[in-house]
Amino acid sequence: MSDQNPNFLNLRGTSMNDASNRNNTGRDIDIARDIVNGTDGFRSESIWINNAQDRMTVTVDTRGKLNGNDRDKAIERLRTKLQQALPRYSVQIRER
């Protein structure tokens, strides 16, 4: 134990195979991106996670196919899908 450098970072929880309780935000972003891109009429632009408030901000492009009431309903369906897949986050969707 005395031969170890105390200044090394604790990297436990940073690998995909580690069974620790640390959240893997990169994997959560990939899941959100897959959900958005798999939903008709949407393409993911950027996805940000604010860990301090457990908030996920998803910017989407509607590809110009949706307008008015249809767009609002589609965004709500997308928000529901994201909330079900990633319940630890409060999801905010922005349109571009």
Average pLDDT over residues 20-48: 86
CA–CA separation, 47 vs 94, rounded Å?
10
Q: Tens digit of pLDDT for each residue in 45-90? A: 999 998 777 899 999 998 777 778 888 899 999 999 999 999 999 9
| Distance of alpha carbon 93 from alpha carbon 96, whole angstroms | 10
Q: How far apart are the C-alpha atoms of 94 and 88, rounded to whole Å? A: 19
pTM: 0.73
